[in-house]
Structure formats: C-alpha cells, structure tokens
Homo-oligomer: A and B are copies of this chain.
C-alpha cells in the first residue's frame, strides 16, 4: 500500500501536546507500518504563540486560530490535549460538527458532555476517541470496546487515581494521612489543592466513563456516589492489615439486573484480590464479564508521555479505521436506570466503638439482625476504657448496613465513631455475589 501523508492538528501544546508531537515524529515509521499512513502535525493551537516551549513546533505550525483548523479540510484527526471543560468542549463540538475526527484526553469533558459530543460526532460522520481520558496509557477503553465486545461485562472495579493510592500505600507503612499527603505533594503526585484527588472527584469522572462504555448506557457523573479518603485513619489501615486486607480507593460500576450502580469510595480489598497488589501511584482496572471471568489491566495512570502514548494510539486507530463501520458510533446504545444507592449488596467492614460492659454485644447483634445484616467475622479489642468492634459482615445491602449503623450510633452504649466500608473479596469474587 502506498504511504499516505496525513495532516493532523493539536489543540493545546503543554506537556501532553508536546509529547504527542514528539511521539508522532519519532514513531512515524511504526505508524506507517501499521496503517500505511504518515501522521504529520500541521497545526498546534495555543493561546500565546509567542511563548517559549521546550519541544517547540515549527513557527509555521503554531497558531492561535481555531478557524484555520475548522476550515482546513485536509486535517484528518485533531487531538484535544488542552484540558479544562471550556473552551475545550466548545472547540471539540465545532470540530466534530465540521467533520473532523477528534481524540481527547479530557476526562471531565467526556464524563460531563459525552452525550452532546457523541451527538456531534454522529452528525459530522466522524469518530471521537477518548482512551487517554481514563488511566493514561492503560488501554482499558480499547479493550472494553474491541476485545470484550461479546463478553457482557457486568462489573468494573478500579484503582483509577494514583494520588490516593500513593497516600494509602504510604499509610500502610505507618504514615499519617497528613504526612502521606504532604509527601505526595512534595513528589508531585498531588496538587497544592488536592481536593479533586482526595475527595474522589477525579476517580468519579473516570468511573462514570468506564461504566458508560462497559454497560453501553450513559452514566451521568452525578449518579456516582462519591466518598474520598480524607476520613481513612491508621486504625482502618491497621484493621485491614489484621484481616489480611488493604484499604484502597475503589471506583466500582455494577450492572444489577438492568440497573447500574456506580460509586467511588474507600474499601477493604482482600490480599488475594489482584487490586490489592497495586502499589504507589499505579492504577489498575478489573473487568468482570461472562466469557472472560475477570481481566485486570495495570499500569501508570498518569504522566505526560503515558497520556500522549494513548492519544497517539487513538489517532492511529482513527486513521486506520476510517471508511469502515468499526467503532464510529457512540458506545452508548441503551438507557439503563440507576440502581437506588442503598440497594447494592456487598460484604462490609464495620468499625464500632462502644462501652465495654455486659450486654453491649447483644444489643449490637440485635440491631444488625434487625436489618438482616449477618456477621462473618468479629474481633473485639479494648481501647482506652471502651471497646472497639471490628466486624466483617456477609453480603448485605448498603442501605441495610447504613440503617444498622444509624441505630447503633443511637444506642446509649455507643462511643466515638461507627464507620463502614465495603469489602472486596479475593479471587472468586462472583461467589460473594458482587454483580
């Protein structure tokens, strides 16, 4: 096949944009071997064309004029690597409507405006790909859409935020939450304002995208129940260790019948579960489906060159499949309802502080039984004149567990905090009724 020269454009030229440009130049031969095409950056849209840049494109390439890109029919793919919801969203919409295929690395944009963007892509008759929006170079979107096409994925479990995983890993080595966060900030894993990460908002956007693709049904970001790691203590981490588990911030999307449940929050993960071994700033996503049982993908979930690698792979996939019917459509093809958040069932870890006297255990057991929550493991420890109970339950609905906790907090014997986290068991997860 004769080589075809393919002009491409970049929106944004920061760390990721420069890395995309470099990878396209350095790997032009590899790309040509796979597709018969040579991708060449002809436009790089920036706000300030005069700014000095490390890996600087030719002056002829740098532009601050979106209209030039919109008008140039020769451009065959545009990569949006500028970040932020606006004006990126407006630019992408206009490009798609003008018939330009787009690749985006922008999770908030895809999670918040996916419906509108895919509508524009359909109207323009072009592809919109978004691998880099979730876990950088880990190719989970491509695997879900192309490799697991016939496996009916019914649950996705992920460690999709490296900052919080780094902090929780550091807490396992005995650091306090505050110290671990400070270290993450010092090493560049956490922002000066870490809210987006530690409150679970970054993970929520990624989990909403994963749920949407896995289940083929739009999951709005406000369906995602979100809890961060701010209230995880060294006591939780120690209790998990005693149980052979690890505390992880887990994004979980479950298909229950024809309803979906999507949530992000700290969980106790069994030491034999593949996600338990994911350490430091790494990410991992487990996909559970009928034909595949479970497939786990693990790797660095952030980074300029890693993100750029995924952007380029999407650009190449677009160039390589243009003119066919393959994956040019919105991944969404049905409208599932949201499962009421209290209905999702799981085993739970409960940590209760109570007065250390006769009859207290019986009272707590009564409250649990009243909500049909049954106990699988119980450890009672003395602590400063009162008692701490560590309980692992059998499978119970989140709502029933919350009800039992509320009743237990209202007991006259209650002291201090009463908290609950879901438990993610080891291999044979299906046995414990997740899904």
Interface of A toward B, CB cutoff 8 Å: 1, 23-24, 26-27, 30-31, 33-37, 131, 137-139, 142-143, 145-152, 216, 272, 274, 276-280, 282, 290-300, 303, 305-306, 308-310, 312-313, 316-317, 319-327, 329, 333, 427
Nearest-CB distance from A364 to chain B (Å)? 35
Residues in B whose Cβ lies below 8 Å from that of A1 = 325
Nearest-CB distance from A334 to chain B (Å)? 10
Given A137-B292, A327-B34: A150 touches B23 (CB 8 Å cut-off): yes
Cβ contact of A149, chosen from B272, B312, B326, B329, cutoff 8 A: B312
Nearest-CB distance from A311 to chain B (Å)? 10
Bound-complex Cα distance A333 to B146 (A): 25
Bound-complex Cα distance A321 to B317 (A): 10
Summarize A's interface: helix, strand, loop or mixed.
mixed
Closest residue of chain B to A3, judged by CB? B325
Nearest-CB distance from A235 to chain B (Å)? 25
Residues in B whose Cβ lies below 8 Å from that of A137 = 147-148, 151, 291-292, 295
Given A143-B143, A276-B277, A308-B291: A149 touches B297 (CB 8 Å cut-off): no
Contact between A309 and B143, CB atoms less than 8 A apart: no
Residues in B whose Cβ lies below 8 Å from that of A36 = 325
Residues in B whose Cβ lies below 8 Å from that of A325 = 1, 35-37, 320
Cβ contact of A26, chosen from B27, B150, B282, cutoff 8 A: B150
Contact between B327 and A149, CB atoms less than 8 A apart: no
Residues in B whose Cβ lies below 8 Å from that of A312 = 149-150
Given A34-B146, A148-B313, A321-B324, 4 further pairs, Cβ under 8 A = A34-B149, A274-B298, A276-B277, A293-B303
